[in-house]
Amino acid sequence: MRRTAALAGAAALTAALLTACGGDEEPGDPDPGDTVTATPQSGPTTESSKPTGDNTPATDDGPAEVVGTIATGLAAPWGVAFLPGGDAVVTERDTRRVLLLEAPSYDVREVGVIDAAVSNGDTGGEAGLLGVASSPDFARDRTLFFYLSTASDNRIVKARLERGRLGPLTVILDGIPVGGIHDGGRLAFGPDGYLYASTGETGERDLAQDRSTLAGKILRITTDGDPAPGNPFPGSAIWSFGHRNVQGLAFDDHDRLWASEFGDQTYDELNLIRPGRNYGWPIVEGRGGRDGLVDPQVVWETDVASPSGLAWLDGRLWLASLRGERLWRVDVHGDHASHPVDFFVGEYGRMRTVVVTPEGRLWVTTSNRDGRGDPGPQDDRILLIEP
């Protein structure tokens, strides 16, 4: 059955713009002084950019290294999902192509084009064919999930991949507001088997605080598009709110959800996501220290981050940066993140997505052919990284 944004507008949630309200801190929420301000390691630290909090690597275990190139000649690859056996599915935002990279050679083969997706990437926009996730039971059901933009909305669809071709699409959740910018788009299955999706506020900042809309939220739904059981707001797909534009989702070894979020003019964010909590936009950007709002774990000045993809591996989060043209590594101890360190600054251009391979390495996609980058002769690429 097709689900619409009306799911977000249950009677108990029809309040329009919500203001910041008082609330008790939950265990594990960072105090304002706990937020780390990341400082690039690649250049001198200025007085204005000195870190607040712990910015020193926890261990001197050497830098991450690019040890190979998986694919070249791609066009703004956006989502990556590994399948059982090591094959990978990749989406291209603007061409709307779905690609299959078959292990072990990873030759690139087109398995479908999602014509329903509408891109405005040639004008520097952010809509199009975005995230992809494979079913937790893919070996049996052969199902892929996609987040895409249409002329009227953002939506989540599913389709089967059989005999090397993508089958017909089934819409499971539509009516997510769409814009030229801030369309979110990341999909990730949680350890609980439910699908998590990030949405942006489409440049209409007040939508992030409005729980009658799905814009500026993290959603949690079933594979049929229904609000998942146990969601914090009955009848709603919303898991958390007050987000500007989340494009990275990652679960750690303790099943905690982390999210990377684009800031406006001052700070980009790394947040630990808790159900039902308000992450502050547009009331605050970065660290606010206000009751009822959750402060970020780490913040970056926007010219060294603009974070998109996020991945978890061996006690650390890896964050791909677009404007910052680098890969960040962040240590996690308990409920707190620290020790941000950057790699590959300016070497490969804009970095969009980072995922963990079945062998415990990283794939990182570049995004230089996205209307905002400066593509080289091999762009866009998927890089193989030894963390």
Nearest to 32 by CA among 299, 316, 237, 352: 299
Classify residue 191: in a domain, yes or no: yes
CB contact at 8 A, 294 and 274: yes
Mean pLDDT of 179-188: 97
Q: Determine, yes or no, domain membership for 62.
A: no
Task: Report the chain's mean pLDDT, rounded to a whole number.
Answer: 89
> Token pair for residue 257?
């959800």
Indicate the number of domains in the chain: 1
Question: Residue 38 domain-assigned?
Answer: no
| pLDDT in the model for residue 135 | 98
CA angle 94, 126, 76 (to 5 degrees): 40
Sequence letter at residue 206: D
User: What would the pLDDT profile of 8-18 be if each residue is shown by its tens digit?
Assistant: 444 333 343 33
Hunting for tokens 């291209």 — which residue is that?
A: 92
Residue linked to tokens 């079945």? 358
Q: How far apart are CA 52 and CA 38, in angstroms?
A: 8
Digit-coded pLDDT (tens) for 362-372: 999 999 999 99
Q: Is residue 350 part of a domain?
A: yes
What pLDDT does residue 50 have? 37
Residue 7, pLDDT > 90, answer no
Q: Is residue 370 part of a domain?
A: no
Query: Please, which pLDDT band fits residue 23 given cuts at 50, 70 and 90?
Result: very low
Q: What is the pLDDT of residues 26-69, one digit of tens each?
A: 544 655 458 999 989 764 333 333 334 455 544 446 799 999 99
For the purposes of burial, counting CB atoms within 10 Å of the CB of 254, is it exposed (0-12), middle (13-18) or buried (19 or more)?
exposed
Question: What pLDDT sits at residue 123?
Answer: 75
Q: Is residue 9 part of a domain?
A: no
Range of the domain at 310: 77-355
For 287, the token pair is: 């660290």
Confirm whether 26 is domain-assigned: no
Q: Cα–Cα distance between 220 and 197 in angstroms, integer?
A: 7
Domain of residue 213, CATH code? 2.120.10.30
